[in-house]
Structure formats: structure tokens, C-alpha cells
Amino acid sequence: MNTLYRYTRTAITLHWAVAALIFATFPLGVYMHDLTLSPYKLRLFSYHKWIGVTIFLLAVLRVSWRSTHRPPPLPAAMPNWEKLAANTVHYLLYTLIFAVPLSGWLMSSAKGVQTVWFGVLPLPDLLAKNKELGDLLKEVHESLNFAMFGLVLAHIGAALKHHFIERDEILARMIPILGRGA
Amino acid sequence: MKHLLAVPLLLAASLASGAEFAVLRPQQSSIIFVSKQMGVPMEGSFRKFTARIAVDPASPETGSARIDIDLASIDTGSTDGDEEVAGKAWFDTKNHPVASFISGSVKPSGKERYEALGKLSIKGKTLDVKAPFTLKQNTDTLIIEGMFPIKRLDYGIGTGVWSDTDTVADEVQIRFHFTIAKK
């Protein structure tokens, strides 16, 4: 496959790293939030936050990389509405990989629990402790996550549709081994 | 007979001079604890406590203190936490509602610095502790401030699954701030 038509190795690695971490920490968040208080729960909350901070940092790397390495163009044959839909979903997903961890970090601050990355590196508390604000930010964090869940489904659905129905090279841009050698 | 009377009189006299500052101002006093959970420092406090502290700033070594903490008044920062620590694995407040610190020995350790040696009792366990503090005199109040570490597991605080110190550290920092007014 022509390298012009796929993402760079770095962009691919960052994409899949963020994807894998989201697939780990999203279900973890859904599972852990209702558990009764235990050391197990405290550990899971910490892991969830560490992963979230990591996603945020990878998001920074991704956007910096993307700003200097333009992604491959969408196939010319794609209808305009599909291009618009693809670009909109990508844009929203980029926004969310910043907004979701950020809302979690703010929520943690407002709930009076500092975030300490890997139990070693303390992040500054961006907000003072405030119960009402903490509860509100919990709602925000949850809503943003479910919005992301919907967008990720659309994103995956579109990738599969391109690969198995339209049988084009869209998915191979992110998984070069799937290239059909066109 | 004279001798028998003399003893209480002497005692009363020494208390009168030594207990010039003896009234706690609860609004300007606090007992805070800081523990680490997964490397995250978590601050909590006790809302209710009584402190009978008698200090003569001229000779603090003669001071004495008794502090009683109502353990059910704990504020861990979350309702979940408050309910959890009242339970058997933690303070077991039903059977041990009060923690106390009793000291009759104060040693100077520098300018405005002292060390109170005393006994700390929590959950039926009594251990010796050294509580370093500073003493500052204002016109009508004395400010006593200090901190000391304890090991929670020495007192059986947080047993069972909670005895895993990788999650909740064994060491807990106790910080106290007392404002004592004149009688």
C-alpha cells in the first residue's frame, strides 16, 4: 500500500494505544463506580485515573503529531456527506479524548481527592473541594463518556462498513496489514 | 491535721498558677489526620473533641493535657468513608466511642518548641506517643500546634482486607491545633 495513503507508524501506534486504554478504562469506570468501599475499589479508582491521565497525555502527543503530519486524504470517491460525517466524528473523538480525562480530573479535585499519577506524580488540584460541583462533574464525566461510547461505535461501524461492504482501503490506513495491495 | 490540710492547699495553689490558660476554644481548634491512599494524601478531621489543657507559659513543663476525641464525629471527606470507618474493622465506635491522649510530661526542645509525652488510647489499645508542638502566646490566648505520626495497625485501625498497607498506608499523620484562652 502506498505510504501516502496510510497514517504514519507513529500516528497508528498512538491511535491504537489510546483505543486500547479506552477499552480498558471505560468498562472499568462503569463497573467500579457503584462498588461498596473496599481496598479493591480504591485500587480500581486509582488505576482508572492513571489510565485517564495517560490517555490525556497521549492525546496531546496525537494532536501535536497530527499538526505536523497531515493524515492521508479520504478517497475521492467518497460522497461528501460521508466525508463530512467522518471528519465530524474524528473531530469530536479528538475533543473527547481531552474532555473526558479532564472532566474526571476536575471531578476528582472537586470531590477532594487529588490525582496522583501512578501513585507517584501528584497533579495539581484544579478546583477546591466542593460537593455540589463534584456531583455535577460526575454527571458531566458520565455524559461525556456515553457520548464517546456512541461515537466510538459509529467510528468502528464505519470502519467495518468500509472494509467489508465497500471493500476499500480506509481501514488499512490504520491497520496496514489489511491492505489489499491496491 | 495541719499536714493533711496543707497537701490539698498546695495542690490548689500550684494548679491556680499553672492553669492560667485552660479554656479551649473549639471553633479555633482542630484535630486533623492525613493518611495516604494509593499514594494520595487524604485529609480528614474530628469535629467533636474536648481538650483539658493546663499550661503556664512561664513554665510549660508543668503543663498537663487530656484530649478526648468523639470518634463518631469523624469527617473522612465522604459519607461512604465516614460509614466505613465507624465499623468493626476500623474504629468500632459502638464499642470504643472515644480516643484519648493523656499527658503529664512536657519537655522543652527549642525556642517555643516542646514535646508532650503521653499515652494515646484508641480502640482499647494504649501506646506511648511523643507529640512535638509549638507554643505561642498571644495577649489572651495560647496557640498549641503540632503533629506526630502513628501507625494505624498498632491500634488495630483498618483490619481484615484493609490491613493491606499498599492501598491505605500504615502511617497516619495527626495534626493538632488548639487555641486556649485564659480562665
Q: Do A113 and B38 touch (CB under 8 A)?
A: no
Average the pLDDT over B65-69 and give the result: 95
Question: What type of residue sits at position A88?
Answer: T
Q: What is the pLDDT of residue B34?
A: 97
Q: Could you tell me the pLDDT band of residue B22, with boundaries at 50, 70 and 90? A: confident
Q: What is the pLDDT of residues A44-70, one digit of tens each?
A: 999 999 999 999 999 999 999 999 999
Q: Which residues of B touch A45 (CB under 8 A)?
A: 38
3-state SS class at B74: strand
* pLDDT at residue number B19: 45
For residue A136, the enclosing domain spans 3-178
Residue A129 vs residues A100, B49, B134: alpha-carbon distances, Å: 20, 24, 29
| CA nearest to A104, candidates A160, A175, A48, A180 | A48
**How far is B19 from chain A, CA to nearest CA, in Å?**
39
Q: Which of A89, A108, A111, A104 is nearest to A157 (CA)?
A: A89
- B162 at the A interface (CB within 8 A)? yes
The residues of chain A scoring below 50 in pLDDT are 1
Calculate the alpha carbon distances from B12 to A169, B4, B15 in Å.
96, 13, 5
The pLDDT of residue A4 is 65
At residue B7, does pLDDT exceed 50? no
Query: Cα angle vertex A91, ends A89, A97, to 5°?
Result: 100
Domains of chain B: 20-182 (2.40.128.110)
More confident residue, A19 or B3: A19
The three grid cell numbers given for residue A96, joined into one nine-digit string: 473527547
* CATH number of the domain enclosing A140: 1.20.950
Cα atoms in the 13 Å half-sphere on the side-chain side of B155: 26
- B167/A129 Cβ within 8 A: no
Q: What is the pLDDT of residue A1?
A: 47
pLDDT at B57 over 90: no
The answer, for B78 touching chain A at a CB cutoff of 8 Å, is: yes
Instruction: Say if A129 is an interface residue toward chain B (CB within 8 Å).
Output: yes
Tell whether the model's pLDDT for residue B11 goes beyond 50.
no
Half-sphere exposure of A17 (CA within 13 A, CB side): 16
Task: Note the pLDDT tens digit of each residue in B74-133.
Answer: 999 999 999 999 999 999 999 999 999 999 899 999 888 999 999 999 999 999 999 999
CA distances from A154 to A21, A32, A52, A54, B126 (A): 18, 25, 22, 24, 62
- Which chain A residue shows the shortest CA-CA distance from B41? A114
The pLDDT of residue A109: 96
Q: Smallest Cβ distance to B38: which of A38, A46, A129?
A: A46
Cα A110 to the center of its chain, rounded Å: 23
Say what the pLDDT of residue A3 is: 56
The alpha helices in chain A, defined as continuous H runs, are: 9-32, 39-68, 80-110, 131-160
Strand B21-24 versus strand B40-46 pairing type? unpaired
B93 vs B60, higher pLDDT: B93
Nearest CA in chain A to B165: A39
Mean pLDDT of B157-175: 96
Number of folded domains that form chain A: 1
Q: Name the DSSP letter for residue B91.
A: T
Is A114 an interface residue toward B (CB < 8 Å)? Answer: yes
